[in-house]
Amino acid sequence: MEYGDSDPMDEFHTNPAPLITRRYPDRAIMNVTNTCGVYCRFCQRKRNIGEIDYACNMEHYDEALKYIAEHEYIRDVLLTGGDPLTLSNDNLEMILMKLRKIKHVEIIRIESRIPASIPQRIDQNLVKMLKKYHPLYLNLHFNHPYELTEESKNACNRFSDAGIPLGNQMVLLRGVNDNKYLVLDLNKKLLEFRVKPYYVFFAKNISGTTHFNCNIEKGLEIVDFLRGNLSGLGIPTFIVNATGGAGKVPILNKKFSISENDEVILTTWEDKMVSFPNPHHVNY
């Protein structure tokens, strides 16, 4: 029996223009290629991977950019795919240049697995080009400490030295990284690489890969453990993507309650209980 869904994020129905996915009023995703440096089995867009890699045609790029230009509430554009850094410098710069001409686009983000899979791609020519399009953010994808090689560190340093903030999005995978000590090691090393642990993603319900899925409790256990053993700088948000394209939902343990005598009771990372009066003089 086949479990899972080929399109668990329902991108088919949140696709108002070619290459565009839209879930939030102020953001848009632009899927610029189906090519990637490594084809993760659990990829949410594995349905787009065929026998031929391709960059999208110019007509689709132009239609996507036109859509963004016509919707003035879009202030944040995320380039993804595939992996945008598999594009040539010229093609990638063409997209960035056109986005920067749209006045209401304030922030551009790029998602990439390349620093983990082909760090040699991150050369000075690429970084020099990207540096021209600030504010630019880069979200990386490291899942395991073994991926944090010296070559990857050099690639991350080139981005950071160019003033490009780096975040990491780890996917929680059963039998791969569902271990609190392993994730602690990963996040410590990411900080050494000048990469902020950003999200831990609950694995999406992708067809043929549900054996990688952990339960929610495992993700909460890992993030709670990090809270007591790593500074806040290294604590990612545990995220579940709601089905039907409903967006990201942060999953948090309920660490507070209100007592009968109206005190706020907090539970620390060591499961100790502390309390303080709940203020009532504040008007909202």
Measured CA to CA, the distance from residue 66 to residue 16 in angstroms comes to 12
Which pLDDT tens digit goes with each residue over 153-177? 999 999 999 999 999 999 999 999 9
State both tokens at 18: 């070619």
Whole-model pTM: value is 0.87
Asked whether 241 and 204 are in contact (CB, 8 A), the reply is yes
Enter the CATH code of domain 11-253: 3.20.20.70
Distance of CA 99 to the CA centre of its chain: 20
Distance of CA 186 to the CA centre of its chain: 16
Q: Where are the domains of the chain?
A: 11-253, 255-284
Measured CA to CA, the distance from residue 162 to residue 100 in angstroms comes to 18
**Percent of the chain surpassing pLDDT 90:** 57
Which pLDDT tens digit goes with each residue over 77-94? 999 978 999 999 999 999
Which pLDDT tens digit goes with each residue over 4-28? 555 566 565 667 888 998 888 999 9
Ordered strands of the 27-31 beta sheet = 20-21, 27-31, 76-80, 107-112, 136-140, 166-172, 196-202, 237-242, 247-250
Residues 6+ apart with CB under 8 A from 169: 111, 139, 140, 141, 198, 199, 201
- Average pLDDT value over all residues in the chain: 86
State mean pLDDT over 94-120.
Answer: 97
